[in-house]
Amino acid sequence: MLYYLFEFLEKEYQLPGASLFQFMTFRAAMAILFSLLIATAYGKRIILFLQKQQIGESIRDLGLEGQKQKTGTPTMGGLIIIMSTLIPVLLFAKLDNIYILLLIVTTLWMGFIGFADDYIKVFKKDKQGLKGRFKVLGQVVLGLGVGATLYFHPEVTMKEENSSVITQQFEVRDVEGSEIKSTSTTVPFFKNNELDYSDFIAWAGEGAKDYAWMVFIPIVILIVTAVSNGANLTDGIDGLAAGTSAIIVFTLGIFAWVSGNIIFSDYLDIMFIPNSGELVVFITAFVGALVGFLWYNAFPAQVFMGDTGSLTIGGIIAVIAIIVRKELLIPLLCGIFFAESLSVMIQVSYFKYTRKKFGEGRRVFLMSPIHHHYQVKGYHESKIVTRFWIIGILLAILTIVTLKIR
C-alpha cells in the first residue's frame, strides 16, 4: 500500500525521498525490519493471550528427557509468523503482482488449515487434530490453485533468449527476446539445464503440448503436499523448524533476486522470470518473521508454532520454489525436511514389513522423525538443533553453487 501512496506523492507533489519506494531493495529492507519488530514486539503479547486462553500444547509422552516440562507451553504461535509476514507485505509489496497474491493466498489458506488442526487438538481435546485426509485435501486444493494459476495466468511468463545492455545512463534495456508462456524448470548440475514438463507428453503427437497442464499441475500438487508435510514433521524440538526454514527461505530469496534481474539471469545463464523480483519483498518479510519467532521459540521455547506455523511454512517454501522454477532443488535445499520425512517413511514401512514377516514390528531408528532418534541417544535438543542448522547452511551453500556448477 505504501508503494502506491509514495508513487502518487512523487508524481503529484515531487515529495523528497518518495522515489525510494520504487526500489525493490529498499522495500525489502523495510519489510525485514518491520517483520522483526512486529514479531519481537507483539510476539510476547500474543503468547500472553494464548496463555490466558489456556491454549497450551498437550505433549505426547515419548519418554524423552525434559518433555514433561513442555506440557502447557502455548501453541498456535504460527500466528506470530503469519502476522509478522503479511503486515509488512501489505505495506511494502506491489499488491498487483501475481506472485505476491499467490503467496498471500498460500499463507492464509495453509494458516487456516493449520489453525483448524491446532484448534481441534486444544479445544476439542482430540490429540489427532484435523483428520489426515482433510489436511491432504487442503494441500491438494492449494496445489491445484497454484498450478492452474502459474500455467494459465497471462502474467506468468519467462523471457526467451535473455539479453540486455546497460546504456551510458545506466538504464537496463532488453535487446532481444520476448516473454513467453513456459512449463520449463531448472535441472541442477547440467549445462543445458532446462526441462520442459510438456516433453513428457510430446509422444502423444502434434498439439499434445497444449495439455502440458495435465503434467505440470499434478507435479505442483505433489511438491506442495510433500514440502508442507516435511516442514510439519520437522517441527518437533525447540527452534528446529523455524531456524531451518529461515535458512531455506533466505536461499530462495537469492534465487528470486537473480531470476527477477535480467542482468544477473543473463550472466548466470538462468531463466529470467519477469516480475519475480518482487518476491524478495515477501521473502525478506518471511525471513524476518521466522527469525523474530525464534526469539521466543529457541530453547527453552516460550511458544510452539503448531501446525498453524509448520504447514504454512512448508506451503510457502514450496510455492516460492515452484515460482522461481527451482523445485528440483528441493531435495537438496530442503534436505532436513526430506530426511525427517524419509525417516518416518522408513520407520513405518519397516515396522509393518517386519510385523507381517516375523510377527513383531522392528524399528530402524530408536524413534522417528530422526531428530527424536538423536534425543533418545542422549543428545541435548539444543545440540541437535544447532547441528541441523549447520547441515542446513551447508545444503544452502551447495544449492547456491548449482548456479555455476554444471
pLDDT in tens, the chain (406 residues): 787 887 778 787 878 777 888 889 999 999 999 999 999 999 999 999 888 876 665 555 556 655 666 777 888 999 999 999 999 999 999 999 999 999 999 999 999 999 999 999 888 888 888 998 999 999 999 999 999 999 999 999 887 654 444 444 334 444 455 778 888 898 888 777 788 898 888 888 777 788 889 999 999 999 999 999 999 999 989 999 999 999 999 999 999 999 999 888 888 888 899 999 999 999 999 999 999 999 999 999 999 999 999 999 999 999 999 999 999 999 999 999 999 999 999 999 999 999 999 888 999 999 999 999 999 999 999 999 999 999 999 999 999 999 888 7
| pLDDT given for residue 291 in this prediction | 97
Tell me the pTM. Answer: 0.92
- CA 159 to CA 282: how far, in whole Å? 22
Using an 8 Å Cβ cutoff, are 47 and 65 in contact? no
**Is 232 annotated among the ligand-binding residues?**
yes
Where are the chain's structural domains? 25-401
The Cα-based distances of 151 to 83, 181, 342, 361 in angstroms read 29, 8, 30, 45
What letter represents residue 246's amino acid? A
**Is 307 annotated among the ligand-binding residues?**
yes
- Residues 367-393 have pLDDT tens digits of 999 999 999 999 999 999 999 999 999
For residue 56, what are the β-bridge partners?
74
- CA 295 to CA 286: how far, in whole Å? 15
Q: Which three cell numbers stand for residue 269?
A: 545463464
